[in-house]
Amino acid sequence: MIISSWNVNSVRARIENIKEYLKKFSPDILMMQEIKTPNETYPFDDIKSLKYENYVFGQKSYNGVAIISKKKLSNIQNDIFKDKNKQSRIISADLIIQKKNITIINIYTPNGNPVDTEKYTYKLYWLDSLIKKVKNLSKLNQNIVIGGDFNIIPSPNDVHDPKSYENDALFRLEIRKKLRELINFGFHDAYRFIHPEKEGYTFWDYTSGAWQKNNGMRIDHFLVSNSLINHVKDVKINKFPRSRQKPSDHTPIEIELA
Protein backbone atom coordinates (compact mmCIF):
# COMPACT_ATOMS: atom_id res chain seq x y z
CA MET A 1 0.00 0.00 0.00
CA ILE A 2 1.26 3.46 -0.96
CA ILE A 3 0.17 6.41 1.17
CA SER A 4 1.18 9.80 -0.16
CA SER A 5 1.15 13.26 1.41
CA TRP A 6 1.21 16.48 -0.60
CA ASN A 7 0.65 20.12 0.19
CA VAL A 8 -1.01 21.01 -3.10
CA ASN A 9 -1.23 24.77 -2.48
CA SER A 10 -4.80 25.06 -3.81
CA VAL A 11 -6.59 21.94 -5.04
CA ARG A 12 -8.51 23.89 -7.67
CA ALA A 13 -5.45 25.68 -9.08
CA ARG A 14 -3.51 22.42 -9.08
CA ILE A 15 -6.24 19.99 -10.17
CA GLU A 16 -4.64 19.05 -13.51
CA ASN A 17 -1.32 18.35 -11.77
CA ILE A 18 -3.12 16.30 -9.13
CA LYS A 19 -4.95 14.25 -11.74
CA GLU A 20 -1.71 13.68 -13.66
CA TYR A 21 -0.01 12.52 -10.45
CA LEU A 22 -2.84 10.13 -9.58
CA LYS A 23 -2.87 8.64 -13.07
CA LYS A 24 0.90 8.26 -13.29
CA PHE A 25 1.71 7.02 -9.78
CA SER A 26 -1.63 5.69 -8.48
CA PRO A 27 -1.17 5.95 -4.70
CA ASP A 28 -3.73 4.03 -2.66
CA ILE A 29 -4.26 7.06 -0.42
CA LEU A 30 -3.36 10.71 -0.91
CA MET A 31 -3.41 13.11 2.01
CA MET A 32 -3.61 16.70 0.76
CA GLN A 33 -2.97 19.92 2.67
CA GLU A 34 -3.66 23.57 1.95
CA ILE A 35 -6.51 22.79 -0.43
CA LYS A 36 -7.72 26.39 -0.01
CA THR A 37 -11.38 25.84 -0.77
CA PRO A 38 -14.57 25.12 1.17
CA ASN A 39 -16.27 21.77 0.63
CA GLU A 40 -18.83 23.40 -1.67
CA THR A 41 -16.26 24.18 -4.37
CA TYR A 42 -13.94 21.21 -3.90
CA PRO A 43 -13.50 19.28 -7.20
CA PHE A 44 -15.26 16.09 -6.10
CA ASP A 45 -16.16 15.02 -9.63
CA ASP A 46 -12.59 15.31 -10.94
CA ILE A 47 -11.28 13.08 -8.16
CA LYS A 48 -14.19 10.62 -8.31
CA SER A 49 -13.63 10.17 -12.04
CA LEU A 50 -10.29 8.55 -11.15
CA LYS A 51 -12.00 6.09 -8.77
CA TYR A 52 -11.06 7.76 -5.51
CA GLU A 53 -13.26 8.45 -2.50
CA ASN A 54 -13.07 11.99 -1.07
CA TYR A 55 -12.99 13.02 2.59
CA VAL A 56 -12.72 16.78 2.87
CA PHE A 57 -12.39 19.40 5.59
CA GLY A 58 -12.23 22.61 3.59
CA GLN A 59 -11.87 26.30 4.31
CA LYS A 60 -12.39 29.29 2.04
CA SER A 61 -9.14 30.69 0.59
CA TYR A 62 -6.88 29.25 3.29
CA ASN A 63 -5.77 25.99 4.87
CA GLY A 64 -8.03 22.96 4.31
CA VAL A 65 -7.15 19.26 4.29
CA ALA A 66 -8.47 16.21 2.46
CA ILE A 67 -7.89 12.48 2.23
CA ILE A 68 -8.65 10.62 -0.98
CA SER A 69 -8.59 6.84 -1.10
CA LYS A 70 -9.18 4.00 -3.55
CA LYS A 71 -11.07 2.17 -0.81
CA LYS A 72 -13.64 3.53 1.58
CA LEU A 73 -12.27 4.67 4.91
CA SER A 74 -14.10 4.74 8.23
CA ASN A 75 -14.32 6.89 11.35
CA ILE A 76 -13.67 10.15 9.51
CA GLN A 77 -13.03 12.98 11.98
CA ASN A 78 -12.06 16.61 11.55
CA ASP A 79 -12.39 17.65 15.18
CA ILE A 80 -10.08 15.33 17.11
CA PHE A 81 -9.09 18.42 19.07
CA LYS A 82 -10.65 21.86 19.29
CA ASP A 83 -8.81 24.52 17.32
CA LYS A 84 -9.22 27.84 19.08
CA ASN A 85 -8.82 29.66 15.74
CA LYS A 86 -11.33 27.34 14.01
CA GLN A 87 -9.00 26.58 11.11
CA SER A 88 -9.28 23.49 8.91
CA ARG A 89 -5.96 21.81 9.59
CA ILE A 90 -6.56 18.18 10.56
CA ILE A 91 -8.57 15.19 9.36
CA SER A 92 -8.26 11.55 10.40
CA ALA A 93 -9.60 8.21 9.24
CA ASP A 94 -9.28 4.49 9.96
CA LEU A 95 -8.34 1.72 7.57
CA ILE A 96 -7.49 -1.96 7.78
CA ILE A 97 -4.09 -3.24 6.60
CA GLN A 98 -3.27 -6.91 7.15
CA LYS A 99 -6.02 -7.17 9.75
CA LYS A 100 -4.61 -4.21 11.66
CA ASN A 101 -6.81 -1.21 12.35
CA ILE A 102 -4.69 1.83 11.52
CA THR A 103 -5.53 5.46 12.21
CA ILE A 104 -4.12 7.92 9.68
CA ILE A 105 -3.95 11.57 10.64
CA ASN A 106 -3.47 14.24 7.97
CA ILE A 107 -2.15 17.52 9.37
CA TYR A 108 -1.31 21.01 8.20
CA THR A 109 0.61 22.64 11.04
CA PRO A 110 0.56 26.46 11.24
CA ASN A 111 3.62 28.15 9.73
CA GLY A 112 4.19 30.31 12.80
CA ASN A 113 5.99 33.25 11.23
CA PRO A 114 6.70 35.97 12.22
CA VAL A 115 7.91 34.57 15.55
CA ASP A 116 7.14 37.74 17.52
CA THR A 117 3.41 37.53 16.73
CA GLU A 118 0.33 35.56 17.71
CA LYS A 119 1.01 33.30 14.73
CA TYR A 120 3.93 31.75 16.59
CA THR A 121 2.06 31.25 19.86
CA TYR A 122 -0.77 29.68 17.83
CA LYS A 123 1.70 27.21 16.32
CA LEU A 124 2.93 26.23 19.79
CA TYR A 125 -0.65 25.84 21.01
CA TRP A 126 -1.57 23.77 17.96
CA LEU A 127 1.39 21.41 18.33
CA ASP A 128 0.72 20.99 22.05
CA SER A 129 -2.91 20.15 21.26
CA LEU A 130 -1.83 17.61 18.64
CA ILE A 131 0.67 15.94 20.96
CA LYS A 132 -1.88 15.68 23.76
CA LYS A 133 -4.49 14.19 21.45
CA VAL A 134 -2.11 11.67 19.88
CA LYS A 135 -1.08 10.49 23.34
CA ASN A 136 -4.74 9.93 24.21
CA LEU A 137 -5.49 8.21 20.90
CA SER A 138 -2.58 5.84 21.44
CA LYS A 139 -4.34 4.44 24.49
CA LEU A 140 -7.11 3.20 22.18
CA ASN A 141 -5.04 2.24 19.13
CA GLN A 142 -1.26 2.10 18.95
CA ASN A 143 -1.24 1.80 15.15
CA ILE A 144 -1.00 5.41 13.97
CA VAL A 145 0.44 7.12 10.91
CA ILE A 146 0.68 10.92 10.99
CA GLY A 147 1.40 12.57 7.66
CA GLY A 148 1.31 16.04 6.25
CA ASP A 149 2.94 19.44 6.13
CA PHE A 150 4.42 19.77 9.62
CA ASN A 151 6.09 23.11 8.85
CA ILE A 152 9.05 21.86 10.90
CA ILE A 153 12.63 21.39 9.69
CA PRO A 154 13.86 18.55 11.93
CA SER A 155 17.62 19.16 11.72
CA PRO A 156 20.32 21.20 9.94
CA ASN A 157 20.63 18.36 7.42
CA ASP A 158 17.07 19.05 6.29
CA VAL A 159 17.52 22.56 4.90
CA HIS A 160 19.91 24.02 2.33
CA ASP A 161 21.06 26.92 4.55
CA PRO A 162 20.41 26.18 8.24
CA LYS A 163 22.16 29.35 9.43
CA SER A 164 19.59 31.58 7.76
CA TYR A 165 16.70 29.75 9.47
CA GLU A 166 17.96 29.86 13.07
CA ASN A 167 15.19 32.17 14.25
CA ASP A 168 12.54 30.99 11.79
CA ALA A 169 9.37 29.37 13.16
CA LEU A 170 10.08 26.30 11.02
CA PHE A 171 13.49 25.70 12.61
CA ARG A 172 13.49 27.25 16.07
CA LEU A 173 14.79 24.80 18.67
CA GLU A 174 11.56 25.17 20.64
CA ILE A 175 9.58 23.98 17.62
CA ARG A 176 11.94 21.13 16.79
CA LYS A 177 11.60 19.93 20.39
CA LYS A 178 7.84 19.58 19.86
CA LEU A 179 8.47 17.23 16.95
CA ARG A 180 11.03 15.32 19.02
CA GLU A 181 8.52 15.01 21.89
CA LEU A 182 6.03 13.37 19.54
CA ILE A 183 8.68 11.03 18.12
CA ASN A 184 9.97 10.09 21.57
CA PHE A 185 6.47 9.21 22.68
CA GLY A 186 6.43 6.27 20.28
CA PHE A 187 7.00 7.22 16.64
CA HIS A 188 9.66 7.14 13.95
CA ASP A 189 10.40 9.78 11.33
CA ALA A 190 9.78 7.33 8.49
CA TYR A 191 12.01 9.08 5.96
CA ARG A 192 14.99 9.10 8.31
CA PHE A 193 14.26 5.49 9.33
CA ILE A 194 14.75 4.41 5.70
CA HIS A 195 17.25 7.11 4.66
CA PRO A 196 19.43 8.09 7.66
CA GLU A 197 21.66 10.44 5.65
CA LYS A 198 19.99 11.07 2.29
CA GLU A 199 18.77 14.54 1.35
CA GLY A 200 14.99 14.60 1.23
CA TYR A 201 13.73 18.09 0.44
CA THR A 202 9.95 18.37 -0.03
CA PHE A 203 9.62 22.16 -0.46
CA TRP A 204 11.30 24.72 -2.71
CA ASP A 205 10.20 28.35 -2.62
CA TYR A 206 8.89 29.93 -5.81
CA THR A 207 11.42 32.78 -5.58
CA SER A 208 15.13 33.18 -6.29
CA GLY A 209 15.35 30.06 -8.44
CA ALA A 210 15.10 27.82 -5.37
CA TRP A 211 13.91 24.80 -7.36
CA GLN A 212 16.59 25.15 -10.02
CA LYS A 213 19.32 25.61 -7.36
CA ASN A 214 17.89 22.87 -5.13
CA ASN A 215 17.60 25.34 -2.26
CA GLY A 216 14.96 23.31 -0.45
CA MET A 217 13.90 21.99 2.91
CA ARG A 218 12.24 18.89 4.37
CA ILE A 219 9.05 19.96 6.14
CA ASP A 220 6.58 17.30 4.94
CA HIS A 221 6.80 14.13 7.00
CA PHE A 222 5.36 10.78 7.93
CA LEU A 223 5.55 9.73 11.57
CA VAL A 224 4.87 6.01 11.99
CA SER A 225 4.14 4.41 15.35
CA ASN A 226 6.62 1.91 16.75
CA SER A 227 4.08 -0.87 16.28
CA LEU A 228 4.07 -0.30 12.50
CA ILE A 229 7.62 0.72 11.69
CA ASN A 230 8.66 -2.76 10.57
CA HIS A 231 5.90 -2.61 7.93
CA VAL A 232 7.55 0.40 6.28
CA LYS A 233 9.15 -0.93 3.12
CA ASP A 234 10.18 2.37 1.54
CA VAL A 235 9.76 6.15 1.71
CA LYS A 236 10.23 8.29 -1.39
CA ILE A 237 10.21 11.97 -2.27
CA ASN A 238 8.47 12.20 -5.65
CA LYS A 239 9.87 15.29 -7.39
CA PHE A 240 7.93 14.82 -10.61
CA PRO A 241 5.01 17.16 -9.72
CA ARG A 242 7.37 19.97 -8.65
CA SER A 243 8.85 20.03 -12.18
CA ARG A 244 5.50 20.49 -13.93
CA GLN A 245 3.83 23.67 -15.17
CA LYS A 246 2.10 25.70 -12.42
CA PRO A 247 3.37 23.40 -9.64
CA SER A 248 2.81 23.52 -5.93
CA ASP A 249 5.89 24.65 -4.02
CA HIS A 250 5.75 21.27 -2.24
CA THR A 251 6.14 17.81 -3.76
CA PRO A 252 4.66 14.51 -2.55
CA ILE A 253 6.27 12.27 0.03
CA GLU A 254 5.23 8.61 -0.34
CA ILE A 255 5.36 5.79 2.16
CA GLU A 256 5.05 2.13 1.20
CA LEU A 257 3.62 -0.22 3.82
CA ALA A 258 4.29 -3.90 3.24
Q: Look at residue 34 in the predicted model and tell me its pLDDT.
A: 98
Instruction: Supply the range of the domain harboring residue 83.
Output: 2-257
What is the helix, strand, coil percentage profile of the chain, to 5? Answer: 30, 30, 40
pLDDT > 70 in the chain, percent? 100
**Between the CA of residue 157 and those of 163, 175, 204, what are the distances in Å?**
11, 16, 15
Residues 198-219 have pLDDT tens digits of 999 999 999 999 999 999 999 9
User: Is it the case that residue 86 has pLDDT exceeding 90?
Assistant: yes
What is the rounded average pLDDT of the residues 238-252?
97
What is the rounded average pLDDT of the residues 46-52?
98
Q: Look at residue 97 in the predicted model and tell me its pLDDT.
A: 85
Mean pLDDT, the chain, whole residue set? 97
The number of folded domains in the chain is 1
Q: What is the per-residue DSSP string for 58-109?
A: --SSS--EEEEESS--EEEES-SS--TT----EEEEEEEETTEEEEEEEEE-
Task: Give the DSSP letter of residue 250.
Answer: B
What is the rounded average pLDDT of the residues 95-122?
95
198-202: long-range pairs with CB below 8 Å, 24+: 199/157, 200/158, 200/237, 200/253, 201/158, 201/160, 201/237, 202/237, 202/250, 202/251, 202/253
Tell me the helices (H) and strands (E) count for the chain, helix number first. Answer: 6, 14
Residues 216-228 have pLDDT tens digits of 999 999 999 999 9
Helix (H, G, I), strand (E, B) or coil at 22: helix
- 206 Cα distance to chain centroid: 19
Q: What is the CATH number of the domain that holds 235?
A: 3.60.10.10
User: Is it the case that residue 48 has pLDDT exceeding 90?
Assistant: yes
Prediction pTM value: 0.97
User: What's the pLDDT band for 98 if we cut at 50, 70, 90?
Assistant: confident
Q: Look at residue 92 in the predicted model and tell me its pLDDT.
A: 98
